[in-house]
Amino acid sequence: MADARGEPTAASMRLDRFLWHVRIAKTRSAAQAIACEGRMRIDGRTVDRAAAAVRIGNILTFATQGPERGIVRVIRIEALPVRRGPPAEAHACYQELTT
């Protein structure tokens, strides 16, 4: 849920922070760019802002960047990370739904 200012509450997290914490984006600014491009979907809704709230159970759909450009990834959020930890810890926060 979001508070009156639109900021995520404790049971949610900003989209850009989530992407950075789980190592989908190398930097926070890269995570903001992914979120603001308008090519990311949360539960089927198009998102165009980095402050969009994500929660456990949300499905994220987005096209990859970099060398794997154009591959569509679909992930389900399993946990909200508290820090940007090692890759194994980061991967435990989501489940890859694409094969």
Distance CA 83, CA 99 (A): 27
Run of H or E including 14: strand 13-14
User: What pLDDT score was predicted for residue 1?
Assistant: 47
Please give the helix or strand (H or E) that residue 60 lies within, else none: strand 59-63
| pLDDT beyond 90 at 99 | no
pLDDT of residue 22: 96
Q: Is the pLDDT of residue 80 over 80?
A: yes
- pLDDT tens-place string over residues 35-76: 888 789 999 999 989 999 999 999 999 887 666 667 889 999
Whole-model pTM: value is 0.83
Q: Provide the token pair at 68.
A: 């794997």
Query: Tokens at residue 40, please?
Result: 């990311």
Give the pLDDT of residue 63. Answer: 83
CA 40 to chain centre: 9
